[in-house]
Amino acid sequence: MTAIFLLPILFSVPLDLLDSLYQSGNYRMVIEEGESLLSLTEKKEERIAVLKIMAFSAVALAAEEEAKDYFRAILKIAPHFFLDSVTTSPKILNVFFKAKEEFNRMRREEGVVLSPLVYFYPGLFQLRTGKRTKGYFLTSLTTISAIGLLTGLVLTPIFHHSYLEKKSPEEIESAYHLYKLAYISREVFAVSLAFSYSLHLLDLKFSE
């Protein structure tokens, strides 16, 4: 290992070399050099960068348990760390999500409690535990349903009152259609919100 790796002030240089080793397929060397780099820095961002490329290399070597160890080490530093699902390969994402689920399970067993909001609002728990697709689906469905339901709760009585005040047949028919639309929308969004919470509660149950 060259002397440049021993100079923390030039940490970005050996990190670039580590990336070069990874790009050239020298995965085991990445891990060996990465271990040396970790001993040179206590900076959060630098340790995460090194551990990340070490985890990627372990996945490439089909060393899943080793890769999960590196990912869990990252999560200990930054519990909300995540990988870009667009630019990261599905194989790496799969190992990362396994590591994140195990990490969160260990935290729960150790008594580390997530914010109550994570359990109350559908999708947040799933996002925090690595279930990104389910998490995005539930948060989107819940948010849209909640907004739609609140809008319906406000507009339905307003349109109903307006409908009762109309006198001419044309005005009555027009006002009735608005009232009916608001009423149906309110009921549909109420059902979709209940559906979202049902999926969320089932997921919490089977995640225990």
Q: How confident is the model at residue 12 (pLDDT cuts 50, 70, 90)?
A: low
For the chain, what are the domain ranges? 3-113, 124-206
CATH number of 3-113: 1.25.40.10
pLDDT tens, 137-158?
A: 999 999 999 999 999 999 999 9
**DSSP designation for 79:** T
pTM equals 0.51
Phi-psi region of 132 (alpha: psi -120 to 50; beta: other; left: phi over 0): alpha
**DSSP designation for 121:** S
